A = this chain, B = another copy of it.
């Protein structure tokens, strides 16, 4: 099983490096198999190290390994949303989505298993880790919108959109990664603008945020294209205007 790996190689890594190496190997396995189907032996084999070594790092077994891998993935995911506060908001959101969708693309089955639930390795702890990522993403977005005290409507809109993005990611994985990533990204940005606009009709704070955001948008940007493409469809419904 592990005899092909040159034994001296893994002596040189520090504890932290070794741990990262094992977690990376685990995440790569989770990308193609459900978490309950990945054993510590598989990780040892994938990382080219001995089984006792993996057990030394994760004495809690499969569950501990899974939670550590999940925490490492969560940290990576939270980084996706870190974006300098400059330029049109739709571009910033687009870049964050590019990183997020690349993560989804790369982690594939592991990402689905994580979000779809029902796995034997899922616990209230793993659910809390996933929820932490959602909250962090919402905070990032509200920061970019420059809202210091977001009201319940605006906050709920942002969180609803984040859940919708998760759902879209799962469907996208399920449908053999169609449409292409850049189309999916643009569409999700447009969905965000649309959700914000619908809430703006009811909520003064969201209306202010949307006005400020649209003022930063270039005419050839995502918001402009959305407005120009959607207005003709609505234009046929003159009885509503």
Q: Which of A143-161 contact B (CB under 8 A)?
A: 152-153, 155-157, 159-161
Given contacts A194-B194, A198-B230, contact A161 B159 (CB under 8 A): no
Known: A198-B226, A219-B240, A223-B240. A210 touches B190 (CB 8 A): no
Decide: B240 and A224 in contact? CB cutoff 8 A.
yes
A117 CB to nearest B CB, Å: 4
Query: Chain A interface mostly helix, strand, loop or mixed?
Result: helix
**Are B127 and A156 interface neighbours, CB within 8 A?**
no
User: For chain A residues 191-238, which have a beta carbon within 8 Å of chain B?
Assistant: 191, 193-195, 197-202, 207, 210-211, 214-215, 217, 219, 223-231, 233-234, 236-237
- Nearest CB on B from A132, distance (A): 13
Cross-chain contact A167 with B160 (CB below 8 angstroms): yes
Q: What's the least CB distance linking A113 to chain B, in Å?
A: 10
Q: Which residues of B contact A164 (CB under 8 A)?
A: 160-161, 163-164, 167, 195
Instruction: Kindly list chain B residues whose C-beta atoms are within 8 Å of the C-beta of A156.
Output: 168, 171-172
A227 vs B48: C-alpha distance when bound (angstroms):
61
Q: Does A166 contact B (CB under 8 A)?
A: yes
Interface footprint category on A = 35 or more
Q: Contact at B229–A201, with CB atoms within 8 Å?
A: yes
Q: How far is the CA of A224 from the CA of B156 in the complex (A)?
A: 23
For residue A21, CB closer than 8 A to chain B, the reply is no
* CA gap between A172 and B210 in the complex, in Å: 23
Additional A-B contacts beyond A160-B168, A231-B241 (8; CB < 8 A):
A117-B118, A119-B124, A160-B164, A163-B167, A194-B194, A215-B236, A217-B240, A219-B239
Interface residues, chain A, CB within 8 Å of chain B?
116-120, 122-128, 131, 152-153, 155-157, 159-164, 166-168, 171-172, 175, 178-179, 187, 190-191, 193-195, 197-202, 207, 210-211, 214-215, 217, 219, 223-231, 233-234, 236-237, 239-241
